[in-house]
Amino acid sequence: MRSGKIGFIFLLFISASLSAQDQAGYRIKLTLKPYTHSQVYLAYYYGKVKAIADSANLDENSTTTFSGKDNLPGGIYFVVSPRKEILFELLIDKEQHFSMTADTNNIEQNLKFEGSPLNSAFFTYTRTMAKYGQSIGNIQKEYLTAHNRSDSLKIREKILAMNQEIQNYRNDVITKNPDSFLSALLSAMKEPVVPPASQQPGGKYDTMYAYRYYKTHYWDGVSFMDDRLVRTPFFDNKLDKYFKETVSPVPDSIIREVDWMLLYSRTAKEMYRYLMVHFVQKYINPEYMGQDAVFLHIFEKFINTGEADFFTEKYRKIINDRAYSLMANQIGQSAANLDMVDSSGKPVPLLGIEAKFILVCFWDPTCSHCKEEVPELDSIYEAKWKNEGVKIYGVMVDGGQDNWRKFIRDHNLKDWINVYQPKDKADADEAANRPGYKQLYDVYQTPTLFLLDKNKRIIAKKLNYQQFDHIIDLKLKKEK
């Protein structure tokens, strides 16, 4: 059972509906003591989001009914009290006409379902697992009083035995509830168990074999055709864990996995939509440099070909704008030219700069982050980078020429190539419908930094100066 106060989030990035193909509707009666004349909610999980499916008012007898003409999509739902606390979970699947009774004084003991064998089995399961959890907690406390290694090993053996007992119990539940949603859930939650060393090739532990076995069997209990899994609290975490622990963080490896999942789930409307949204949100502004290539791949292969028509008009515009801002600045690509002028009005195009490395810095003299980071950038440049063949091409994004010139003087940025784009050039680009430098370099905040090699290829972007320093060191060592 899950408890605690929550805040509900409505899903605004997709055009979603709670209707299902079967139009029999749902009618779920709830008696929830001691509450009367107050509002309760039926809610569901959608990845890490909790959203409201329905609400109803309890009468003087603590009774109400959630009802609708369309079936609810299958998944794990939960009842929320008038105090916005999660009281208990329930499963929604084919049977959607049933009743449930609970007393908030002791839900663990008195929750009852009528007309829903699935939820009766689910409640028995959750109550049993709570007892197992308490038992494991008690065993773990024994570590605090363990006096030696022998005691610790005995406690560990107890925990392993308890874990095996839990797994046996889950397997028994699956066997006794074949073809049920509960069985599908427990199967999907299973973790692959790598064979012991004696059963591995050569009779000894092999790290690569263990990795390949774990990765190969990770999704054994999961059907990417099962739309019900997207409305559970664990599937999103399972997905994140897979990419974090088994998939190389390089774009090509991620793309292979993303393609497989999207193509496999394409005929399962909810699963396909969920995975598409998940991957777009994860890689549109990725955690690691270069992974925005995954988002571009998804955009070009699926979204821009009309295979993701469920995005709202507002979110689709965000996606389109972001994609076109990333297309010209991918790692390994040749950098787009920047036709800028210096403080005297002399043209200083980026592609005319000759250097072993060029650091392009888009900055604003009135930006608080720039005021801190630009002097730090200049310090490492003067102390180290200048002697390593680096030149800094500093582009004023905003802030006004007076502030720009004053900042350059005050912080002695004398060795930078300080440039800006004249207004008439910006106006000409706009009139000709040419992409401006902010789109070409995805400049939506300052400072934004790019590192180019001597051939003007992008080798790094949007890192801090310490990370750029590390990359320059690596490149120089490779040359030697």
Write the DSSP string, 70-92.
SPPPSEEEEEE-TTSBEEEEEEE
- Please check whether residues 320 and 360 belong to one and the same domain: no
The confidence score (pLDDT) of residue 108 equals: 83
**Same domain as 135, residue 69:** no
In a domain, 56, yes or no: yes
The CATH number linked to 56 is 2.60.40.180
Question: Does residue 206 share a domain with residue 235?
Answer: yes
pLDDT tens for residues 18-54? 444 444 899 999 999 999 999 999 999 998 999 999 9
**What span, in angstroms and rounded, lies between the C-alpha atoms of 122 and 453?**
60
**Among 170, 189, 208, where does a domain finish?**
189
Domain boundary, last residue among 189, 208, 230: 189
> Is the same domain home to 182 and 295?
no
Same domain (yes/no): 236, 354? no
Same domain, 180 and 227: no
- 371-419 pLDDT per residue, tens: 999 999 999 999 999 999 999 999 999 989 999 999 999 999 989 999 9
Distances (CA, A) of 20 to 17, 23, 35, 74, 228: 8, 7, 31, 9, 11
What CATH number does residue 462 fall under? 3.40.30.10
Counting the structural domains of the chain, the total is 4
Q: Are residues 57 and 178 in the same domain?
A: no
Residue 4 lies in a domain: no
Are 321 and 356 in the same domain? no
Residue 380 lies in a domain: yes
Continuous H helices in 177-304: 181-189, 207-216, 235-246, 251-264, 269-284, 292-298
Residue 216 in any domain: the answer is yes
Q: Which helix (H) or strand (E) holds 313?
A: helix 313-326
Which residue range(s) make up the domain with 234? 198-326
Adjacent-strand bridge partners of 460:
451
Does one domain contain both 226 and 149?
A: no
Nearest to 218 by CA among 193, 244, 254, 251: 193
Residue 336 lies in a domain: no
**Same-domain check for residues 440 and 460:** yes
CA distance 210 to 16: 40
Q: What is the pLDDT of residue 464?
A: 93
Does any domain span residue 340? no
pLDDT at 21: 43
Q: Quick one: 144 and 51 in the same domain?
A: no
Q: Do residue 218 and residue 243 come from a single domain?
A: yes
Which residues in the chain come in under a pLDDT of 70? 1-23
Q: What is the mean pLDDT of the chain?
A: 92
Domain end marker among 169, 189, 209: 189
113 three-state secondary structure:
strand
Distance between CA atoms of 6 and 236, rounded to whole angstroms?
A: 18
